[in-house]
Amino acid sequence: MTHPPVPQGNYVAAKRHGDLVHTSGMTPRDNGVLMFKGAVSPGVPLESYQAAVELAAKNALASARLLMAPHEKVAGVLSLTVYIAAEPEFTAHASLADFASTYLQREIGDDGIGCRATIGVANLPGNAPVEIQLVAIIAHF
């Protein structure tokens, strides 16, 4: 990703209050272009969706980092919400969301794992397969 995520409507990518940053929902976009489309299917291996989930998580984390001062870092994830546009027969929502949790843990450390909700929906903006929203904890160093 060479550019930070840009809102696709009348909202901000992230909002800070004290040491918490709430991000808007982020889809798997790169430079504003949706890189993955379509509903998640139960007949497709979960690993086929890993790049989409990780890109959405990367965008959410990047949005949080935009609101940090130079002497700050993302110290943890308080909560993570993963929306999955899934076909009705798909039931592995939590396993798919694990790709986001694992990505954030790799980027932040063990505190990258927070509370999580995974929600199956009929569709997402632009026909994205996944959308991720998080609340990050900012720390001074």
1 pLDDT tier (thresholds 50, 70, 90): very low
3 pLDDT tier (thresholds 50, 70, 90): low
Residue 90: name the closest of 28, 45, 126 by CA.
45
79 pLDDT tier (thresholds 50, 70, 90): very high
Question: Tell me: the pLDDT tens digits for 44-60?
Answer: 999 999 999 999 999 99
SS3 track for the chain = CCCCCCCCCCCCCEEEECCEEEECCECCEECCEECCCCCECCCCCHHHHHHHHHHHHHHHHHHHHCCCCCCEEEEEEEEEEEEEEECCCCCCHHHHHHHHHHHHHHHHCHHHCCEEEEEEECCCHHHCCEEEEEEEEEEEC
Note the pLDDT of residue 119: 98
**Domain residue spans of the chain:** 14-140
14-140: CATH topology is 60s Ribosomal Protein L30; Chain: A; (3.30.1330)
